[in-house]
Amino acid sequence: MQTDALEKLNLKHDLALAIDNNELCLHFQPKVNIKDDVLIGAEALVRWHHPQRGELAPGSFIPLAEESGQIVMIDRWVLEAVIRQLSDWMQAGFEPLPIALNLSLPMFQRPQFVDEVIYLLERYQVPAELLELEVTERVAMGDLDYTVSTLRALKQVGVSISIDDFGTGYSSLAYLYDFPIDTLKIDKAFVSDITHNRKKQGIVSAIISLSITMGLKTVAEGIETIDEKVYLRNLHCDCYQGYLFSRPVTAETFCLQYLVAKP
Ligand code: C2E
Ligand code: MG
Ligand code: MG
Ligand code: MG
């Protein structure tokens, strides 16, 4: 217990220096159409190159950062890094694709959040249509009035919104009415093993029907096998993201493999 606590304390201390020391970086995981594997965008996922521990996945520091409040500093860094990256790709002559990023609750709740987004888009001359924000049900269900007005303000600017890990939160479906969202991302917990699990089949089929009725796009997360992909495609899921198509890759690899030069 004691070493655990010490370990956490050490990591929090190191995290405080991570941004100044340039230790955070983004990986990009392609999102593709499920019918033809045509690339439609990517999700930016943060990584931490710890000087002693090597590359750390978000699972080993995001929960800690949420606990300490350092998550806001990370999410602000990610927001600017994504917009800067889009600007760099455009300036280098590539056809840009929409990039999504994940928002924590305290980041989303910042009163200046929408203004920060608008400011950065203007500063880097990036069209808002290239930015997509992923919020979990937990983030969205905080203060409903605030969520609706914030999402509306973002939509008005041209930013698109996804509900991440859909189906894992405890939220009423009624909110889907009021939230101006574009996409539901089906959590990988429901996708893995879907071909053998009747309950998962039922849940995912219901999510996709709901999504179609609401005029939303569905993205399946965590597709690892052809069978899973075929199953989701037959249920009329629109897009997917998963190791089957690609793991998250560095910005350089993403650009080399997936971006095409403007005509
Ligand atoms: P998420 O937003 O649901 O991101 C999808 C996660 O699923 C990523 O893990 C991705 O690598 C993983 N994944 C995608 N396809 C597959 C697959 O086929 N198989 C398996 N086993 N995994 C797959 P990652 O990068 O470790 O991120 C984990 C979570 O950390 C994210 O879940 C998100 O909630 C959080 N996160 C990542 N970056 C940020 C960030 O910049 N800010 C905040 N607040 N949270 C972040
Ligand atoms: Mg996400
Ligand atoms: Mg997710
Ligand atoms: Mg997830």
Start-to-end CA span in the chain (Å): 59
Ligand 1 mutation pick, 25, 45, 134, 183, max ligand atoms within 8 A of CB: 45
Six-digit token string for 208: 């996709």
Is residue 230 over pLDDT 90?
Answer: yes
**Which residue has tokens 């089929």?**
205
Could you report the per-residue pLDDT of 84-118, keeping only the tens digit for each? 999 999 999 999 999 999 999 999 999 999 999 99
**Ligand 3 center from residue 221 Cα (angstroms):** 6
Q: For ligand 1, atom 8, which residue shows the shortest CA distance?
A: 45
Nearest C-alpha to atom 46 of ligand 1 is from which residue?
102
Other residues' Cβ atoms within 10 Å of the Cβ of residue 27: 20
Residue 13 to residues 9, 18, 90, 171, 202, Cα–Cα distance (Å): 6, 9, 36, 35, 45
CB 182 within 8 A of CB 159: no
Closest-lying ligand to the alpha carbon of 134? 2
- The rounded Å distance from CA 241 to ligand 3 centre is 10
How many helices (H) does the chain have, and how many strands (E)? 12, 10
Q: Give the model confidence (pLDDT) of 155-188 as tens digits.
A: 999 999 999 999 888 667 778 878 999 999 999 9
Q: Provide the H-helix boundaries in the chain.
A: 2-18, 62-68, 71-91, 105-109, 113-123, 137-140, 144-157, 175-178, 188-191, 198-213, 226-234, 251-258
164 lines ligand 1 (CB under 6 A): yes
CA–centroid distance, residue 165 to ligand 4 (Å): 5
Q: Please report the atom of ligand 1 found closest to the CA of residue 78.
A: 41
- Is the C-beta atom of 222 inside 6 A of ligand 1? yes
pTM over 0.90: yes
Percent of the chain with pLDDT over 70: 99
Give the Å distance between the CA of 224 and the centre of ligand 3: 14
Q: Quick one: pLDDT at residue 167?
A: 87
Instruction: At 56, list the tokens.
Output: 């750390």
CA distance 39 to 240: 10
Nearest ligand 1 atom, CA 107: 44
The residues, any chain, with a CB within 8 Å of residue 17's CB and separated by 6 or more, are: 23
